[in-house]
Amino acid sequence: MPVWFMRQAGRALPEYRQARGEGRFLDAIADPALCAEITLQPVRRYGVDAAVLFSDIVVPLAAIGFGVEIVPGTGPVVESPFRRAADLSRLRGLEAEADIPYVIETVRLLVRELEVPLIGFAGAPYTLASYLIEGGPSRDYALTKSLMHADPDLWMALMDRLADISLAFLAAQVGAGASAVQLFDSWAGGLSAADYERFVMPASRKVLSGLAGAGVPRIHFGVGNGELLGLMGEAGADVVGVDWRVPLAEARRRIGPGRAVQGNLDPALCLAPWDVVAGATRRVLADAGGQPGHVFNLGHGVLPATDPDILTRVVDLVHAEGRAGGAP
Ligand code: CP3
């Protein structure tokens, strides 16, 4: 069974902390040799079956000059948030060759070097919009949801612009050699299914269907998305990411036939002693039921306090006992 981990590159690894140093995150992202090295670190360390491009969902927004900074310990912070129709003019299209040549170069370096597939990724329009509107991380997404409902025309125009940016970001990665893509709608789980379907799904569908002919599997992921699993599949995913709240057998029922599932070990459990982690890993394998079309992963990203040796043991256990790779 294939296994990789969301946020497998990052602060859980001492070699990451050493390579990154103290510099600005967005400066590190603009250094292809450094990004390639950081992308390779977890492949060497854990023996995972895929590499994940080292970048961030806000990279294309920073690249078009929206004014986004990544603040350590906080996440993306937007200096002047999106509030009114005039702000649409600050969201021009992404010209990948000119705006993010360093991402393209990183992908090219990696595909030359790697013996496992490289997964590219982008933020989905809703999750990107939440940062642009809230100005940073949020608990309730109150400004985002109120703009969505108070001015649906402006909301849909914003989603459409962000869909074009996400699609251009993914297409550039695929064009440079990435062999799969993941669309992160990390915060969509805060929406009702009705709001998701009306206000978010059309834009995510635009991104995923824009890649339908690209010949790469499309993974669609969100946290707390148990009520949205069916819709997130229908938006055009080949693989639906499932967090730890819904067992995989139930997730498969909600998603329906013809799509694979990815997940769903709770990343917080990886801080427990090994016998706990081993039991939880086996439970995920059992829930997946030995059917084809399961990619083992965590239910969200690796937490910085995780002991890397635990993740190496998870990979070994999945490889030894997992029996359900391949197409659904
Ligand atoms: O192996 C990998 O997956 C790493 C590549 C990666 C990063 N960000 C690097 C990063 C990926 C796939 C992301 C995606 C991302 N960024 C998402 C979607 C994934 C998810 O977790 O739901 C989101 C919501 C963001 C926004 C963001 N950027 C956050 C919340 C943070 C963490 C802030 C913090 O300091 O706790 C970032 C910064 C960031 N992106 C870091 C890393 C390794 C940490 C900063 C650093 O190392 O200096």
The torsion angles phi and psi of 54, rounded to 5 degrees, stand at -85, 110
Determine the pLDDT at residue 325. 53
Mean pLDDT value across the chain: 96
Domain assignment present for residue 168? The answer is yes
Residue 6: inside a domain: no
Is the pLDDT confidence value at 289 over 90?
no
Domain of 161, in residue numbers: 14-321
> What pTM did the predictor assign?
0.96
Pinpoint the alpha helices (H) of the chain: 14-20, 25-29, 32-46, 59-63, 96-99, 101-113, 125-134, 142-150, 152-175, 193-195, 201-210, 229-234, 248-255, 274-288, 308-321
Chain centre to alpha carbon of residue 151: 28
- Does residue 120 sit in helix, strand or coil? strand
DSSP per-residue letters across 198-248: IIIHHHHHHHHHHTGGG-S-EEEE-TT-GGGHHHHHHTT-SEEE--TTS-H
Strands 260-265 and 239-241: parallel
Q: Which atom of ligand 1 is nearest to the CA of 52?
A: 1
Give residue 186's pLDDT.
97
Interhelix angle for 101-113 vs 32-46, to 10°? 40
Nearest-CA residue for atom 48 of ligand 1: 25
Closest atom of ligand 1 to 11 CA is 47
Angle, to 10 degrees, between the axis of helix 142-150 and the axis of helix 125-134? Answer: 110
Provide mean pLDDT across the span 257-272.
97
- Answer yes or no: is 175 within a domain: yes
Position 233 in a domain: yes
Q: How many domains does the chain have?
A: 1
Could you tell me which residues come within 8 angstroms of residue 216 by beta carbon, excluding any fewer than 6 positions away? 174, 178, 179, 180, 181
pLDDT for res 323: 82
pLDDT attached to residue 324: 62
Residue 223 lies in a domain: yes
Q: Per the structure block, which two tokens stand in for 52? A: 């994940």
Task: Answer whether the bond into residue 264 is a cis peptide, omega within 30°.
Answer: yes
328 pLDDT tier (thresholds 50, 70, 90): low
pLDDT exceeds cutoff 90 at 271: yes
From CA 22, how far away is CA 40, in angstroms rounded?
20
Domain membership of residue 328 (yes or no) is no
Residue 78 included in any domain? yes
Q: Is 65 in the pocket of ligand 1 (CB under 6 A)?
A: no
pLDDT in tens, 66-90: 999 999 989 999 999 999 999 999 9
Query: For 240-266, what is the mean pLDDT?
Result: 97
Candidates 124, 107, 113, 108; CA nearest to 218 is 124
So what's the pLDDT on residue 290? 75
- The minimum-distance atom of ligand 1 relative to the CA of 72 is 35
The CATH number for 130's domain is 3.20.20.210
Q: State whether the beta carbon of 6 lies less than 6 angstroms from ligand 1.
A: yes
Closest C-alpha to ligand 1, atom 21: 301
Query: What count of residues does the chain have?
Result: 328
Whether 37 maps to a domain, the answer reads yes
User: What spacing in Å lies between the alpha carbon of 318 and ligand 1's midpoint?
Assistant: 25
**Predicted pLDDT at 292:** 81
Do residues 221 and 258 touch, judged by C-beta distance below 8 A? no
- Please give the structure tokens belonging to residue 101: 């040549």
At residue 209, the pLDDT reads 98
C-alpha 104/C-alpha 174 separation (Å) is 9
For ligand 1, mutation pick of 4, 6, 7 (most atoms within 8 Å of CB): 7
